[in-house]
Structure 1
Amino acid sequence: MLWLRIKRKIRMSANIIMNPVNKFCLSINGVQFESDVNVIGKIWIYNEGTIKLGHNVKIRSAEWSNPIGGGTKTQFQVMRSGYLEIGDYTGLSNVAITCVESIMIGSNVLIGAGSKIYDTDFHPLNPMFRYGEASDIEQTKHKAIVVEDGVFIGANATILKGTYIGKNSIIGAGSVVTGNIPANEIWGGNPAKYIKQVPKV
C-alpha cells in the first residue's frame, strides 16, 4: 500500500513537469489550445492542418495514466486541409485520431482507452487504384465525423468515416461505428447496432 502511494506521488510530480513540456509540444506542432488543457504522459502529434482544443480538455497518453488502454499513447494525425476540434471538458485516454477532412468532437465527451477515430479509408477501396501501375492514393475516400456533446465512447471502439453520434449517446466498448446514431441512445457491436435508450435521470 505504501509503495502504491509513493508511485502515485511520483507520477503526479512527473505530470507537473510533463504538462508544460506537453504544452510546448502542442505549440510547436501548431495546435491551438486553452491554457487549462491537461496532458498526462507524452502525446504524439503530426499536424499539417488545424487542431483546436477547448477549455479543460484532459488527455491521457501513457500506459500508467490509464492501464486499461494497454501500452498505447494518444496520437493526433491531421493531414493537410484536415480540421480537428475537441470541445470543452472533453477527456481522451490513449486515443488515436486520424483526420483528413474534418472531425468535430463536442464538449463533455468521454473517449475510452484505446479508441480510434478515422475519417478516412487510408487506401482506395477500388483495387484498380489500390495497387499496381494505376495505384492512386488520391482516390481514397474520406468523410467528416461529428461527435456531439455529452457522448461516451467505450474503450477500444472504432469510429469510422462519415459517422454522426448524437448528443449524450453511448457507444459500447469494442464497437465499430459507421453512419448516424441518434441522440440519447446506446449502441454496440460490430457493426454497432441500437441496444436501448440512455436511462433518464
Structure 2
Amino acid sequence: MNLLFIIIQIKRRIESSFFWRYGRWQFKHCHIIYGKDLMVNGRMILDISPKAEVRIGDGCFFKSGRGINPLASNIKGVIKVHDNASVVIGNHCGFSSPIINIRHSLTMGDYVQVGAHVIFLDSDNHSLNYMDRRDADMDDRNKKSKAIVIGDDVLIGANSMVLKGVTIGARSVIGAGSVVTCNIPDDVIAAGNPAKVIKILRERNDD
C-alpha cells in the first residue's frame, strides 16, 4: 500500500510538472500576456480571438479538470474571448475550472479567488426577442453585452454565475451557487438567485 501511494504521488508530480509547462505554452500560443509564476494545472480550453486582448498578472493559477478540485471533478476550464473584447486579471488570482465567456470586457483586481466552475458571462446568449431567436444572424447581432468588474480580494463561491454589467466590490464574498445580476458593494456577503446582500463585513480596523 505504501509503495502504491508513493507511485501515485510520483505520477501526480510528473503530471503537474508537465501541465504547468504545457499550460504556459498554451496561453502564450493563444496570445495571452501573462506575468511571473503563472501556474496551470490541467488542460484549459482556450478560444481567444486574434482581435481580443487578454492579460493576466503575476502569481495567478488555474486548475482544470483531472479531478484536481473535487468540486469541479473532471470539468475543464474554458476561456473564450470574442473580437474586440478584453480580459484583464490582476495579480495572485486563482481559478478552478472557470468558464469565462466575454464579448465586452472582464476586469479583475488582485487576490481574487474564484471557486469551482464559476461562470462569467458578460452578454446575453440569446436575444430576449423570440423573433430574433428564430433568425440566427439577427439573434447574434442583438446580443447585448456589458462590462464585468471584480474588485480586489473578492471570493466567489463554487458554481456561481456572474452576469453582464455587474460590479462586485472589493473584499466581498459571493455565496456558492449564486447568480449575480446586479452590483454588489464592498465588504459584504451576498448569496442567492438573484444574489442579494445578506451580511455586512466589518473592516479589520473596526472595533
Q: TM-score, normalised by structure 1?
A: 0.94
Deviation at 1:155, TM superposition (A): 0.4
Alpha-carbon RMSD: 1.6
- SS of the aligned residue for 1:45 comes to strand
Aligned twin of 2:56: 53
Alpha-carbon deviations, 1:127-178, whole Å to 9, x = none?
1211148834111111000000000000000000011000000000000001
Distance 1:121 1:107 in 2: 27
State whether residues 170 and 198 of structure 1, in contact with CA within 8 Å, keep that contact through their aligned partners in structure 2. Answer: no
Deviation at 1:16, TM superposition (A): 0.9
Deviation at 1:28, TM superposition (A): 1.1
Deviates more, 1:87-96 or 1:66-75: 66-75
- SS of the aligned residue for 1:140 comes to coil
Distance 1:134 1:7 in 2: 50
2:75 maps to which of 51, 54, 72: 72
- Equivalent pairs, count: 201
| 1:196 partnered with 2:199 | yes
Q: Which amino acid aligns with 2:25?
A: F
State whether residues 70 and 114 of structure 1, in contact with CA within 8 Å, keep that contact through their aligned partners in structure 2. Answer: no
State whether residues 128 and 134 of structure 1, in contact with CA within 8 Å, keep that contact through their aligned partners in structure 2. Answer: no
Distance 2:87 2:28 in 1: 15
State whether residues 187 and 203 of structure 2, in contact with CA within 8 Å, keep that contact through their aligned partners in structure 1. Answer: no
Distance 1:5 1:120 in 2: 47
4+ residue runs of structure 1 moved beyond 2 angstroms? Answer: 1-9, 132-136, 198-201
- SS of the aligned residue for 1:187 comes to strand
Aligned twin of 2:114: 111
Deviation at 1:60, TM superposition (A): 0.4
Structure 1: where are the runs of 5+ without partners?
A: none
State whether residues 36 and 57 of structure 2, in contact with CA within 8 Å, keep that contact through their aligned partners in structure 1. Answer: no
Please list, as runs of the form range in 1=range in 2, the aligned pairs for 1:25-174 lying within 5 A after superposition: 25-48=26-49, 49-132=52-135, 135-174=138-177
- SS of the aligned residue for 1:69 comes to coil
Q: Percent identity?
A: 33
- SS of the aligned residue for 1:120 comes to coil
Q: TM-score, normalised by structure 2?
A: 0.91
Distance 1:5 1:53 in 2: 35
